[in-house]
Amino acid sequence: MHNNDKLFVWHPYASAIDKNPVYGVNKAKGVYIYLDSGEKVIDGMSSWWCVINGYNHPVLNKAIKDQVDKFSHVMFGGFTHKPATDLAKKINEITPKSLQKVFFSDSGSISVEVAMKFAIQYWHSKNLLSKKKFLTVRKGYHGDTMGTMSVSDPTNGMHSIFEKSLLKQLYVSCPEDIKTYTRNSSKSLKEMEKTLKEKNKKIAAVVIEPILQGAGGMRIYHPDYLVQLRKLCTKYNVLLILDEIATGFGRTGKLFGFKHANIVPDILCLGKSITGGYMSLAATVVSKKIAKSISDKDPGIFMHGPTYMANPLACSVALANINLLFSYDWEKKVKNIEKLLKTGLEKIAKNSAIENFRVIGAIGVLEMKNKVDVGSIQKKFVNHGIWLRPFSNLIYIMPPYIISQKDLKFLIRQLETVINKEY
């Protein structure tokens, strides 16, 4: 298998001739991933933040098995089906009342692309054709497709190579760190208001990740920033798109990141943990106001339609996953994870190679002073029975919510051992 991998496979964020080790997986159960080598590792990453209820869950397995015997897929143009309509209803129940229509797509990045298209088409329906630019903050990340790259950090190493090929959007400073933010002295808010005041006739929407900026730096900012941003968007007649791909479904301690600020977006993007890591699925939820305006304006249709839109298998497991999340006290579990992460990372952060640490909900971040040697530290993690995948100068933990205290303590203890060996 590994020969075939080296010969034929290109891995994410890697060279085609990547020298870093790749570990074969033959099984996964609960919080454990079992490797071809016979070793097992505790997954501290929830497979890029999506496996919130653990691997191989009987409830989620059953949802897919029951659906596959009926039909695995049918085009969504001209057809509908129970998994999609039930999931849309469930999303409607758990999101703000003003959000109504759910547009399904294949991945988080596409859900943001769809949100951007909705914003532009909404203003087109209002005959405000100049409102087609997007305003965002630096250090953001919204995906790897062309539209989403244009609203991700322009100088971020991941996307800087493509900068000249992208649509030119508008940027302001990133929100201040939660500890340093004050409303009256926020440079970011001042720049945001100045830009909105001067250029609102050109701006369709502000796009932002609520509370936590994910892959752009794992930065946590103050909820009041969102409160003020919502006011500014309303004041200057600009839509607010919230990208909850990483923060949605409880990861920050609230069901959605925006709930820390008690605000309501005009467009909401969901993905990642929506299916509990079983299948790729995303959703863009738009307000009644947007849906009505686009539909009332000739030709009244929205020009987007993924082939696998509302895939019945994905919708079935997503509904089962959301119901499963609500079947136990997930808030208590996330709070317990947060408590252990704070205690554990505070101790680890005494290592002189660490700049700082930060924790929110089931997210723990160690910011190193220098870039991490992923190949070197990854081997040590695996040898110590844990799976973490650092990027840039960040080592972070996002475990499944169902992780036991014993396993989480082991994960933190082994992380401490490896850091002290590596540095």
Using alpha carbons, select from 234, 295, 296 the residue that is nearest to residue 266. Answer: 234
Give yes or no: 23 in active site: no
Indicate the helix (H) or strand (E) that contains 268: strand 267-270
C-alpha triplet 145, 148, 154: angle, nearest 5°: 105
Residues 6+ apart with CB under 8 A from 97: none
Catalytic residue among 122, 141, 225, 396, which? 141
- CA atoms of 122 and 131, how far apart (whole Å): 9
Taking the C-alpha atoms of residue 121 and residue 115, their distance in angstroms, rounded to an integer, is 10
Spatial separation of the C-alpha atoms in residues 177 and 220, rounded to whole Å: 6
272, 278, 333, 407: the catalytic one is 272
SS3 track for 152-163: CCCCCCCCHHHH
Other C-beta atoms within 10 Å of 408: how many? 24
Q: Please list the residues that pair with 33 across neighbouring strands.
A: 28, 41
The structure tokens listed for 5 are 């991998």
CA distance 106 to 283: 8
List the catalytic residue out of 5, 6, 13, 201.
Answer: 13
Extract the tokens encoding 87: 């999931």
**CB half-sphere exposure, 347, CA atoms < 13 A:** 13
Which residues touch 88 (CB under 8 Å, ≥6 apart)? 102, 104
Tokens describing residue 324: 């499963």
Q: Which residue is catalytic, options 43, 106, 153, 243?
A: 243
Give exposure, 138-164, as e/b (b: 16+ Cβ within 10 Å). bbbbbbbeebbbbbbbbebebbeeeee
Residue 420 carries which side chain, given as an amino acid letter? N
373 a catalytic residue: no
Whether 272 is catalytic is: yes
DSSP string, 120-146: HHHHHHTT-TT--EEEEETT----SSH
* 141 catalytic per annotation: yes
Instruction: List, by residue number, the catalytic residues.
Output: 13, 141, 243, 272
